[in-house]
A and B are shown apart, each in its own frame.
Chain A
Amino acid sequence: MTRILTIQRDLHAPARLAADEFRAALAARGTLVVNLFSSPGSGKTSLLVALAQHWQGARSAGVLVGDIATNRDAERLAPHLPAVQLTTGGACHLELALVQRGWQALDTPALDFLFVENVGNLICPAAHDLGEHLRVVVLSTTEGDDKPAKYPKAFTTSQALVISKIDLLPLVPFSVAAAVQDATALQPLLTTWPVSAQSGAGIAEFADYLCACRAQLLRETSHARA
Chain B
Amino acid sequence: MHELSIVRTLLREVELIAAAELGDVVEIHLGCGELSGYEPECLRTAFAQLQGPGRLEYARLVIHPIPLAAVCEQCSGEFEPADFRRACPQCGSPHTHFARGTELWLESIVLDETRKATVP
Taking beta carbons and an 8 Å cutoff, which residues of A are in contact with B?
A: 1-12, 91-93, 124, 126-128, 152-153, 155-157, 185-189
Contact = CB atoms under 8 A, between A and B. Distances in A.
B79 interface: no
Interface in B22-66: 23, 26, 35-38
B62 to A, nearest CB: 12
Chief secondary structure at chain A's binding surface: mixed
Nearest to A189: B94
Closest 6 CB pairs of A and B: A127-B37, A188-B94, A152-B84, A156-B84, A11-B104, A10-B103
Given A3-B23, A127-B37, 17 more contacts: A1-B112, A5-B21, A5-B108, A7-B17, A7-B106, A8-B108, A11-B10, A11-B13, A11-B106, A12-B36, A12-B103, A126-B37, A152-B83, A156-B35, A156-B84, A186-B85, A187-B86
Contacts of A155: 84
B26 A156 contact: no
A92 B1 contact: yes
Contact of B112 (A2, A92, A186): A2
Given A5-B110, A7-B106, A11-B10, A124 B86 contact: no
A1 B117 CA distance: 12
Contacts of A126: 35, 37
Contacts of A186: 83-86
B86 A9 contact: no
B118 interface: no
Nearest to B113: A1
B10 A189 contact: no
16 contacts: A1-B114, A2-B111, A3-B113, A4-B109, A5-B109, A7-B17, A7-B106, A7-B107, A8-B107, A11-B13, A11-B103, A126-B35, A153-B35, A186-B85, A188-B86, A189-B95
Contact of A2 (B17, B35, B85, B113): B113
Contact of A9 (B6, B83, B106, B112): B106
A124 B109 contact: no
Interface string B79-120: 001011111000000110000001111111111111000000
A169 to B, nearest CB: 27
Contacts of A4: 108-111
